[in-house]
Amino acid sequence: MPEATLVEAINLALGRAMQDDPDVVVLGEDVGVNGGVFRATAGLQKRFGPERVLDTPLAELLISGLCVGMAAQGLKPVGEIQFMGFIYPCLDQLVNHASRLRNRTQGRLTCPMVLRTPHGAGIRAPEHHSESTEAMLAHIPGLRVVMPSSPERAYGLLLAAIRDPDPVVFLEPTRLYRAAKGEVEDNGEALPLDVAFVLREGRDLTLISWGAMLKETLAAADALSREDISAEVIDLATLKPYDEDTVLGSVAKTGRCVIVHEAARTGGFGAEIAATIAERRLSSLLAPVTRVAGYDTIVPMARLEQYYMPSVERIVTAARGVCQFT
Amino acid sequence: MASRRVNQDLPIIARFEVRRRNYLAPDGSIQRPLPAFASDAKLLVALYRSMVLLRLFDRKAVALQRTGRLGTYAVSLGQEAVSVGIASAMREDDVLLPSYRDNGALLWRGVKLEEILLFWGGDERGNRFSGPVHDFPFCVPVGSQAPHAAGVAYALKLRKEPRVAVCLFGDGATSKGDVYEAMNFAGVHRLPLVFVVANNQWAISVPLRLQTACETLAQKAIAAGFAGEQVDGNDVVAMRAAADEAIAAARDGNGPRFIEAVTYRLGDHTTSDDAARYRSAEEVQARWKEEPIARLRAYLVAQKMWGKAEEQRLAAQCHEHVEAAAERYLATAPRRPETMFDHLYADLPEVYAAQRRELAGEHDA
C-alpha cells in the first residue's frame, strides 16, 4: 500500500471526492494555483478547473457564507480556512446559518458543506495560528466536528464529511500534516463519522484524545506499558456528536480515565467527556477522571509553545496518579 | 461632509456616476416617459392588489401581536413597493434571499399569509412554505444572507443555468462586511445576482447619516466593480423597471447589479419598537405624502384602470383573505415538543435521539 503524509491523504480525499461527484467544489484563499499554503489542494485546480477549485478573495466570513449558499443550491462545497485562528469571522455563518438551515426550514433547504482548517500549535507559526478552539464548535447543535489523527483516518473521514448531508467542520492537526505518515489506499472508501477509534486495547486505564495529541498519548501508552500499566487509547475522531458508547464501554472495563487535549482546560471538550462518565459510569470508576490539557492561558508564541502543549511526561504522570489512586 | 478633493494637479484615471430612476411623482403624475409595461393594466393592478393586501395583512399581524397571539413582527408600511416591485420581476426558478421585512416579496412568490404568521408566531414550519422550494427563508441576522446569495449565484453560474439570485436587505446592512464581501465576490465572478437595498432611512433608531458618509448607497456597487442605481422606492413602476433591467442583465451574463430603493419606514422598526422615541411626528407626517400605494392608485385612476367600485371590492377581498389566513394560523396546533429534533440532522445521531425520547416522555430501557 502506498505511503502518504496526513496532508497528502487530505489531498487524495479531495481529489477522489471531486472526481466522484461533480457537485463537489473546493474554495478558499490560495487553494487554486498555489494549492493551499500547506499544499492540501495541490494539483486540484489543474485537474478540475478554476470553476470548481476557486481562489476566493481574502474574506473568511465570505468563504463560509458562500458554502451555505452553494450547499442550499445542491453543491457540496469544501471551504478552506487557512488557519483556525482565522475561523472566527465564520462563526456567525456556522451558528446562525450552516448548522440550522435544515432545521429552520424543516428540511426544505439543507447544508451539506465542509469547512476545513488546520488546527493546533507546534509548528512555530506566527501569532494567532496555534489555537485549539474545537470545544467552541462542538457546542453548536446541528454541526459535526471531526478531527483526524492519522493519514488513513484523514482520508476516510474527509470523504465521509464531504458525503455527509449536513455541515461538518473538519479540523486538521497542523503539526501532523507532514510528521504523520501511513499507508493510504486511495480506494474511495469512507470511514464512519460519529465513531471513536480504539487505537490500542488495554486493561488498566483509558486514555482519550483527538487530533495531534494522539501522538503524545500513544507515546505515553508505550511508556506506561514499560511500567506494566496497560493503557487503552481512544481516538475520539468525531467530537460532535461524540461516541459515548465506546468511551463508556472502555471506562466500564478499565475503571480509570485520563483525557488529553491541547485546548485550554476550562470549558474544553474533556469536561464534556468527564461529565458524561460521571453521570453514566460513576460506579465503574476506581479513580477520578483526570484531564491533561493546555493551560488556561493564551497559547504562547513559538518560543514557549512546547511548554504549553501537554507532554508525554505530563500524560504519564497523570496516568500513574490515576492508577495509584486509592 | 468629508472632503473628496485630492491634489487637483493629479490626472484623473477613473470617473464614476450614479443615476436615479423615477417615473411617477408622489401625486401619481407622470414625470418622464414610462416603460412599456406601465400601460399593462393587468400587471399594474396586480402590483396594486399585492401592496394593498400587504398593508392590510401588516395591520392584522400587528393586531394579533398586540393581543398576544403573534410574536414580534416587522411591518412594511411605506415600503410596500420595494419588495413587491422586485419580486414581480423574478421568475419562479430565480432564487429569493429576503430580509425579515420582505413579506411583500414572499407573498408575490406564493408564500401563504398563514405561513408568514406561523413563522412570526414562533413555528419553524412557516419557513417550509408554499413559495419556490429553493427560496431562502427570512434572514434575521442583518445582511448575513448576502454571502449566501453569492454562493447561490455561483452555483447557478457554475451549472450554466439561466437563473438569477435576488438578495434584499435594508440600509443598515450596507454597513456590514457581509454585504461588502458578497458584493465584492459577485463583482469578481460576474455573478447573476441582484442586490436590492431598501433604504428606509432608519436602522431601528440610527438614521442613515450615521450609517454612511456616502451621498447614495448605490455608489457602494462602484467599489465592487459593477453598476448601482438609485430608484424611487415608493414608485412601484420604477422599482419594477429597475428590477426588469437588472435581472435581465444578470441573466444574460452581464454580472451583478445593485439597486438602492429610496423609501421611508412609516412604521416602527418592529412591534417591539417605539419610533416616537427617536424621530418626530412631523418627519413621519411629511413622508406620508410620498407613500407608494396612494401614488399608484392616483396613477391607475387617472389612467382609468381603477375606480371606486374596484377599490371597494378589493378591500373586501383582502379583508376576507387576511381574516381567513389568520384563522388558519390560529387553528394550527403547535408541533409536538420532541419534533424540535426532527430536522437537526438528516439522521439524528443516537446520542440526541435519546434526548428526543426523553422529551417525548419515553424511557430508555
Residue B150 sits at the chain A interface (C-beta within 8 Å) = yes
* Chain B residues touching residue A70 (CB < 8 angstroms): 151-152, 154-155
B88, amino acid identity: S
The answer to whether residue B269 is catalytic is yes
* Burial of A219 per CB tally in 10 Å (0-12, 13-18, 19+): middle
> What is the nearest CA distance from A69 to chain B, expressed in angstroms?
4
pLDDT at residue B119, as a whole number: 97
The answer to whether residue A129 is catalytic is yes
> What is the nearest CA distance from B146 to chain A, expressed in angstroms?
8
Question: What distance in Å separates the CA atoms of residue B186 and residue B11, rounded to the nearest whole number?
Answer: 30
Averaged over B35-48, what is the pLDDT? 97
pLDDT digits (tens, 9 = 90+) for B262-319: 999 999 999 999 999 999 999 999 999 999 999 999 999 999 999 999 999 999 999 9
Catalytic residue among A128, A129, A139, A261, which? A129
pTM metric for this prediction: 0.97
pLDDT at residue B81, as a whole number: 98
Residue B351 sits at the chain A interface (C-beta within 8 Å) = yes
Omega before residue A192 within 30° of 0, cis: no
pLDDT at residue B1, as a whole number: 53
Question: What distance in Å separates the CA atoms of residue B296 and residue B283, rounded to the nearest whole number?
Answer: 22
> What is the nearest CA distance from A34 to chain B, expressed in angstroms?
19
Instruction: Count A/B contacts: CB-CB distance under 8 Å.
Output: 130
Instruction: Report CB contact under 8 Å: B137, A97.
Output: no
Question: Quick one: which H or E segment has residue A27?
Answer: strand A24-28
> What is the nearest CA distance from A71 to chain B, expressed in angstroms?
8
Arithmetic mean of pLDDT over chain A: 97
Residue A17: C-alpha distances to residues A13, A158, A159, B84 (Å): 6, 9, 6, 42
* Chain B residues touching residue A57 (CB < 8 angstroms): 181, 184-185, 188
- For residue A305, how far is the Cα from the chain centroid? 20
pLDDT at residue B364, as a whole number: 60
pLDDT digits (tens, 9 = 90+) for A218-277: 999 999 999 999 999 999 999 999 999 999 999 999 999 999 999 999 999 999 999 999
pLDDT at residue B108, as a whole number: 98
pLDDT band at B3 (very low <50, low <70, confident <90, very high): confident
Averaged over B175-192, what is the pLDDT? 98
Residue B152 sits at the chain A interface (C-beta within 8 Å) = yes
Instruction: Report CB contact under 8 Å: A62, B346.
Output: no
3-state helix, strand, coil in chain A (%, to 5): 40, 20, 40
Residue that has been written with the C-alpha cell 479531495 in this structure: A14
Instruction: Report CB contact under 8 Å: A67, B137.
Output: no
Residue that has been written with the C-alpha cell 381603477 in this structure: B306
Question: Quick one: which H or E segment has residue B193?
Answer: strand B193-199
pLDDT at residue B105, as a whole number: 98
Q: DSSP letters along B127-174, please?
A: GS-SS-TTS---B-STTTTHHHHHHHHHHHHHTT-S--EEEEEEGGGG
Cβ-based neighbours of A60, under 8 Å, separated by 6 or more = A81, A86, A87, A88, A89, A90
Instruction: Report CB contact under 8 Å: A241, B349.
Output: yes
* Chain A residues touching residue B154 (CB < 8 angstroms): 66, 69-70
Question: Quick one: which H or E segment has residue B106?
Answer: helix B103-108
Instruction: Report CB contact under 8 Å: B152, A166.
Output: no
Query: Judging by DSSP bridges, how do beta strands A144-146 and A238-240 pair with one another?
Result: antiparallel
Residue B352 sits at the chain A interface (C-beta within 8 Å) = yes
Q: Which residue of B has its CA nearest to A109?
A: B134
Task: Work out whether the CA dihedral A80, A269, A161, A214 comes out positive or negative.
Answer: positive
Nearest to A56 among B148, B185, B345 (CB): B185
List, run by run, the mean pLDDT of 10-residue segments along chain A (326 residues): 95 98 98 97 98 98 98 98 97 98 98 98 91 97 98 98 98 97 97 98 98 98 98 98 98 98 98 98 98 96 94 98 94
Q: B 267-306 residues with CB below 8 A of A?
A: none
Rounded to 5°, the CA angle A298-A302-A303 comes to: 100
Residue B185 sits at the chain A interface (C-beta within 8 Å) = yes
Question: What distance in Å separates the CA atoms of residue A235 and residue A213, rounded to the nearest whole number?
Answer: 9
pLDDT digits (tens, 9 = 90+) for B107-151: 999 999 999 999 999 999 999 999 999 999 999 999 999 999 999
Instruction: Report CB contact under 8 Å: B185, A52.
Output: no
Instruction: Report CB contact under 8 Å: A68, B148.
Output: yes
Nearest to A142 among B153, B158, B344 (CB): B344
Residue B259 sits at the chain A interface (C-beta within 8 Å) = no
Residue B338 sits at the chain A interface (C-beta within 8 Å) = no
> What is the nearest CA distance from B362 to chain A, expressed in angstroms?
18
Averaged over B247-262, what is the pLDDT? 98
ipTM over 0.90: yes
Q: Which residue of A has its CA nearest to B122?
A: A104
Nearest to B343 among A52, A106, A244 (CB): A106
3-state helix, strand, coil in chain B (%, to 5): 45, 10, 45
